[in-house]
Amino acid sequence: MTTSFGPLEAIMTSIGIFGILLILFVPFIIWLWSLFWAFGDAEARGRSGCLLVILCFFFWPWVLLIWVLLRPDKRNYY
């Protein structure tokens, strides 16, 4: 008796558990890194890093894209 796999089973078999974890883990790391970067960038530019992180937490990547396009010049501390 032969068992035919459907398309989902074939994908799951070829990727394996490591591939599935990698597919889930990499976007999470990118999201987390962008929150840390946004906080540091906002603080360096004299804006509230906490507010930006809260907005990025809920509306990522749109707020991050708007921040990159409209962010103010960097402050110079001499």
Q: Which whole number is the average pLDDT over 6-21? A: 74
Q: Which whole number is the average pLDDT over 9-24? A: 76
With contact defined as beta carbons under 8 Å apart, do 42 and 67 qualify? yes
The phi-psi region of residue 76 (left if phi > 0; otherwise alpha if psi is between -120 and 50; otherwise beta) is beta
Q: Which whole number is the average pLDDT over 15-28? A: 83
Q: What are phi and psi of 56, to 5 degrees?
A: -65, -35
Q: How far apart, in whole angstroms, are the C-alpha atoms of residue 55 and residue 72?
A: 17
Tokens (6 digits) for 20: 């599935």
pLDDT at 49: 94
Chain position carrying tokens 């394996």: 16
Q: What are phi and psi of 65, to 5 degrees?
A: -65, -45
